[in-house]
Amino acid sequence: MGPCDGIRAIELGDFQTAPGAGAILGSLGADVIKIEDPIRGDSFRGLAQMGEAEMVTAGKHIGFETANLNKRGITLDLKCEKGREIFYKLIDKAEIFYTNYREKVLKELGADYETLSQRKPSLIYGVVNTFGSKGSWRERRGYDFLAQGRSGMMWGMGDRDDPAPTVLYGSFCDESSATMLAFGLVTALLAREKYGIGQKVECSLYGTMVHTQCMGINVTSIKGRGWSRHSRTRVREPLVNYYKCADNRWILLCELRGDEYWSSLARAMGLEELAESQRFAITKNRRENYKELIEILDQTFATRTLQEWLDIFEKEKLHEAGFSYSPVFTHVDVLNDPQALENNYIINTTVPAVGEIKMAGYPISFSNTPAKMKCSAPEFGQHSEEVLIELLGYDWEKIAELKDEKVI
């Protein structure tokens, strides 16, 4: 049982953003049916490398697998009359349709909002694009990095002493926008339950990136200037900073109530004399003497490994006192982090041809309707026959005919 059990969603989407939203819906119990062109397929299948990362292992595409978990996959040619006929029959049996195709293409395929909402007024219709549905850039193609750049995200990342823009890798914009779309679709379902209306739900990569920076953008608007880029050597509160340990790993201090914890931290680090020093006793003084204090903390943290410092902090019970700190983890660390595993942020699953692996799991937990992994991403057209027989009542003779005509 899941919170979206009984909900059927039809996906017409390429690459990551819309498919990522479907993976979320599928983990919540929805029956998600992914439509791919019978010749071209989802373009993500053909992307062998992203940045420096090889995307294919044991015949499986890691990116496609990530964005398309928990779905059934069919092939369907929407450019022909018979293909659109099948598509409309699927829409009749669905609660949600979502896509990241451009408006011009959707109209050519007969999959635009006006066409589908006239056929089924209760339909929840979701669309995600790059720059929004209005304005001169509304029909432009685009990807994750473009939204990071235009939204100010790339300007805000990186160190203040290096003026070059910095990209946040790992499909941050795509994944955030997929989550935003899924949130919008589920909210629209709730609105339909209360008010009996279907509607169009729109979001964009650009809009999502602006939203994720709302604090900085609002500060800029109100104050006339925003935060400067981060610089660890110029942080005015050294208890909100990160420091390199002896093994070249990093520890992060993030304590906004520094006056409450400064003495405990200094003693745990063997810097008792600093705890009593008037230069660093209160936040105002630490801000005035921040360069000196950062240099002292740099030198001290460099004398022990990350794990040694974590053990010391644990022994001194800094966490029990309320002091806020954390190791700075790599992705490898996160995959093996007990905190992530115990909360199902990382889950163990089995992918055909690859075997048992760990994958990113679920950021939200439900006490009575938990999210779960239903199945791995579909092979190309894997469920075409199953869906046509189960949902639309087609027989094998009709399916063979559709295959011969390259409709599926």
The Cα 287–Cα 295 span in angstroms is 13
Domain presence at residue 173: yes
For residue 88, what is the enclosing H or E element? helix 81-92
pLDDT above 80 (res 187): yes
Domain presence at residue 337: no
The Cα 304–Cα 238 span in angstroms is 19
Q: Are residues 353 and 299 in the same domain?
A: no
Q: Are residues 75 and 139 in the same domain?
A: yes
Q: Are residues 319 and 347 in the same domain?
A: no
Sign of torsion over alpha carbons 313, 319, 320, 323 = positive
pTM: 0.90
Could you tell me the CATH number of the domain that includes residue 156?
3.40.50.10540
- Residue % of the chain over a pLDDT of 70: 99
Tokens for 384, please give them.
């075409």
> Domain span at residue 92?
8-212+343-404
Could you tell me the CATH number of the domain that includes residue 309?
3.30.1540.10
Q: Are residues 113 and 186 in the same domain?
A: yes
Q: Confidence band (pLDDT; 50, 70, 90) for 52?
A: low
Domain presence at residue 229: no
Report the mean per-residue pLDDT for the chain. Answer: 92
Domain presence at residue 233: no
Domain presence at residue 334: no
Tokens for 381, please give them.
């057209």
Q: What's the total number of domains in the chain?
A: 2
Domain presence at residue 235: no
Q: Are residues 107 and 177 in the same domain?
A: yes
The Cα 120–Cα 117 span in angstroms is 5
The Cα 185–Cα 181 span in angstroms is 6
The Cα 391–Cα 276 span in angstroms is 74
Q: Are residues 194 and 74 in the same domain?
A: yes
Q: What pLDDT sits at residue 156?
A: 87
Q: What is the per-residue pLDDT across 9-46, written as a single tens digit (0 to 9) for each?
A: 999 999 889 999 999 999 999 999 999 999 999 988 88
Tell me what the mean pLDDT of segment 139-149 comes to. 89
